[in-house]
Chain A
Amino acid sequence: MPVQSVFAQLEPLLPTVQKPIQYVGGELNSTVKDWDSASVRWALMYPDAYEVGLPNQGVQILYEILNERDWILAERTYAVFSDMEKVMRENAIPQFTVDAHRPVGEFDVLGLSFATELGYTNMLTALDLAGIPLHASERDDTHPVVLAGGHSAFNPEPIADFIDAAVLGDGEEIVLAISEVIREWKGEGCPGGRDELLMRLAKSGGVYVPKFYDVDYLPDGRIKAVAPNRSGVPCRVHKHTLLDLDQWPYPRKPLVPLAETVHERYSVEIFRGCTRGCRFCQAGMITRPVRERSITTIGDMVDAGIKTSGFEEVGLLSLSSADHSEIADLAKGLGDRYDGSNVSLSLPSTRVDAFNITLANEFSRNGRRSGLTFAPEGGSERLRKVINKMVSEEDLIRTVAAAYSHGWRQVKLYFMCGLPTETDDDVLAIADLAKKVIATGREVSGRRDIRCTVSIGGFVPKPHTPFQWASQLDHATTDHRLQLLRDEVRKDKQFGRAVGFRYHDGKPGVIEGLLSRGDRRVGAVIEQVWREGGRFDGWSENFSYDRWASACADALADEPVNLDWYTVRERGYSEVLPWDHLDSGLDRDWLWEDWQDAVNEVEVEDCRWTPCFDCGVCPQMGTDIQVGPTGRQLLPLSVV
């Protein structure tokens, strides 16, 4: 039976909420299917506001892949702002999809993509508005399977109470496999109900169902063991790795919103994975190995993407875009193709050591030389060895000198504060570096209007990285160090005014740390924060540290653990970590050795250019590095 659209109820209320366009759907390239035509139905959610969620690549890719199958229907839903939440509660309007305004509770699966842990409270709002019980244990056969994915799903333990299942890694193939399992189970008349379905998913080894695992604790609060509580469930759940990106050229038809969103561009992932080995970087660790998309596929995707979207900007995405084996040919080829047009190209993540002026010139042919961004991450050479960000001061100075002498006037530098072994001096070294950058810029360009912006984020240790055992710096010390740095920059008469300084206070990072490395006991904290009004915690104007701290004090009162225990405490080798039963492919002993190497300031090379250093991913996952060069070139587009 088709479900009713809630749009008729919603429409008269839309003039009363802010930015109503975000709730109406109708984006170019969006898909609305007949409800009864599909046997498996997905609601995909990016748990943040529409303007942030719509451009998300992951959701767009899965939306397109699922909808390409005639037996699957996929629609999208986003977090509603609090004014809309109030209107929906007053008028009994459930959480709905923007495509056909169908109630989320009617779908087979609610798939959530978590790029950040700070979206957890928004998930609870959506579940509650959808009429889905917050706790997985209270759901019955009529409720959707609540499924978490995205990078945060590599440790879903803090949300284990609220989700039915989680998947790790690339989603393209596993969403189809899950759909097959659901279709089969529904086709058989849903034997054994919800538990049977979850069991079939868990048995495959590629879907983690938290309730099939028991967690036992030691008296001191550490985990004693995590083990399956029934037979047929694998001891460890493995991540998914898509091989041959050329076979999966998505998004083919990017969604083009009417509303203004955070990214207004057509984005192509030019490769997935990164083996530079930066020790703080969870993305680089959990997406191994490197798999490149070929130059010709990228060229085809850009051509088709611009034509179907009308976007003017093309982003070539990856974790370190200048590392693509054919980046120079790609830049030149695309530069030639779009020369003189209004299409501009951007390369959002560029390493200092991989950057070169030829490349930068290609990418700024049709655009302005507004600014270049580099991420040395650590202020001192010593600290950069600790984090394995192998960028020397000479590299950086040489690169910025080249940029300033070729007409760029502004360079932005990203750093982190609170890295393991960091001292005040390491942070103060950032000021020296910024001064040298300005001095170099003035010298090579002969101009005074040279600027450098220093942007600093607090370091948060993440699961499945060598720093998963590390102590997180407390927020007071973080704030103190940032204050010292700011004073150091400001007091300099010669350079102070040429250096911009951007930073955030240390408190949100502490809560992100709690949610990143937390275990199932943190679920009660999340729920209390949500009940006390916590929404959009990733937005600084909504985030309340005090609400989180007091919820920790209440919800963990009967436990031998607290907020500090989860964040500033260093873990030992033998401690069972909450995510040890989730397999990212990384060998635990290799991670530990890399952690010890970090403390000893020993660097590790990139396995693309040196022999394998046994991180464990390829043999464990049956994968291999897939890099070019292919030797192919981009031909000029034929004129129609």
Chain B
Amino acid sequence: MRYAKRGRLRFTSHRDFGRAFERALRRADLPMAYTSGFSPHPRISYANASPTGAASEAEYVEIGLVEACDPDAVRNRLDEALPPGLDILEVVVAGPGALANRLEASRWTVALPGVDASTSEAAVASFLAQSAVQVERMTKRGLREFDCRAAVVELSVRAGEDGEQMCAILDMVVRHSTPAVRPDDILAGLREIAGLEAPVPPMQTRLAQGPLDPETSSVGDPLGPDRDAQATAGDR
């Protein structure tokens, strides 16, 4: 299923979402499948969660049920059981193949309030001119240095508005890699290369994630194969 993290609930961390989701599954009274063993827990797999504070229109999670259910009914019941702001957008019956493998890239939009578009354009141009841009990030294993340039498939700037304030909006397509390159890292790269500074924390939104078409740099629908499989099964 695809879900969104919107508004103030973008501050929900991955762990917070996990707890809220499991409680919602119980409230929705879905016929959950449980793992066997000493302390059974519901079969849920989360894929590639967005960072705390980032909004998203394209988060993915898979759940296991013990009986066949109508996907739309599952969507409605689960969405009802979750607080507004954590919204279940679509549910399909999982076909063969792992969902996680289809999440090859993400499309992001990042608003930089108080930054004008023309300054950003120059910064983006010099960023793209580099073959590699080293940045540092604190990870669980300590401070790591890695390249944030190679994963960037597409990066462009446009002017936007944030209330009365003008702002620059970055549109980017980023390939999923290890270590993961997040919009934050690309902003760090822009700061490193071209001194682009945001006076207030930027507003990041993931618009899509899925298979990457290298020709067009577009991000496809990762649930497409599941839908196709379901349609084929229906035809048979």
Contact = CB atoms under 8 A, between A and B. Distances in A.
Interface of A: 7, 11-16, 20-21, 23-28, 256, 258-260, 264, 306-312, 342, 368
B229 to A, nearest CB: 31
A184 to B, nearest CB: 37
Contacts of B12: 21, 258
B113 interface: yes
9 contacts: A13-B200, A25-B8, A26-B8, A258-B20, A258-B83, A308-B27, A310-B23, A342-B26, A342-B40
B11 interface: yes
Nearest to A343: B26
A21 B83 CA distance: 14
B53 interface: yes
Interface string B23-61: 111110000001000111000000000001100000000
Nearest to B28: A310
B53 A26 contact: no
Contacts of B20: 256, 258
B9 A24 contact: yes
B199 to A, nearest CB: 10
B200 A24 contact: no
B16 A7 contact: no
Given A20-B52, A26-B85, A368-B39, A256 B8 contact: no
A21 B15 CA distance: 11
B236 interface: no
A20 B53 contact: yes
B13 interface: yes
A260 B19 contact: yes
A537 B16 CA distance: 27
A311 B23 contact: yes
Interface of B: 8-9, 11-13, 15-17, 19-20, 22-27, 34, 38-40, 52-53, 81, 83-85, 113, 200-201, 203
A187 to B, nearest CB: 35
A27 B20 CA distance: 10
- Taking each of A12, A26, A258, A307, which has the highest tally of chain B beta carbons within 10 Å of its own beta carbon? A258
Contacts of B11: 14, 20-21, 23-24
A307 B113 contact: no
A7 B27 CA distance: 29
Nearest to A341: B26
A307 B27 contact: yes
Contacts of A13: 200-201
B41 to A, nearest CB: 9
Nearest to A20: B11
- Taking each of A21, A23, A24, which has the highest tally of chain B beta carbons within 10 Å of its own beta carbon? A21
Contacts of B38: 368
A310 B26 contact: yes
Given A24-B11, A26-B8, A368-B39, A258 B16 contact: yes
Contacts of B9: 24, 26, 258
Nearest to B54: A15
A411 to B, nearest CB: 21
A310 B23 CA distance: 4
Contacts of A25: 8
B15 A26 contact: no
Contacts of A15: 53, 201
5 closest cross-chain pairs (CB), A and B: A310-B23, A15-B201, A24-B8, A310-B27, A310-B26
- Taking each of B9, B40, B84, which has the highest tally of chain A beta carbons within 10 Å of its own beta carbon? B9
Contacts of A260: 15-16, 19
Contact of B26 (A11, A12, A21, A312): A312
A361 B110 CA distance: 55
Contact of B201 (A12, A24, A256): A12
B83 A28 contact: yes
Given A256-B20, A259-B16, A264-B19, 10 more contacts: A12-B203, A20-B53, A23-B11, A26-B84, A27-B83, A310-B23, A310-B27, A310-B81, A342-B40, A368-B38
Contacts of A368: 38-39
A176 B8 CA distance: 32
Contacts of A12: 113, 200-201, 203
Nearest to B163: A8
A233 B15 CA distance: 53
A341 to B, nearest CB: 10
Contact of B23 (A11, A21, A256): A256
A7 B23 contact: no
Contacts of B52: 20-21
A264 B20 CA distance: 11
A264 B15 CA distance: 14
Nearest to A21: B11
Contact of A309 (B23, B200, B203): B23
Nearest to A25: B8
A342 B85 CA distance: 27
Contacts of B40: 342
A70 B69 CA distance: 40
A448 B234 CA distance: 61
B118 to A, nearest CB: 23
A128 B181 CA distance: 42
Contacts of A259: 16
B7 to A, nearest CB: 8
Contacts of B17: 258
B11 to A, nearest CB: 4
Nearest to A16: B201
A14 B203 CA distance: 11
Contacts of B85: 26
A306 B83 CA distance: 17
Contact of B24 (A21, A26, A310): A310
A12 B23 CA distance: 29
A24 B55 CA distance: 14
A309 B19 CA distance: 12
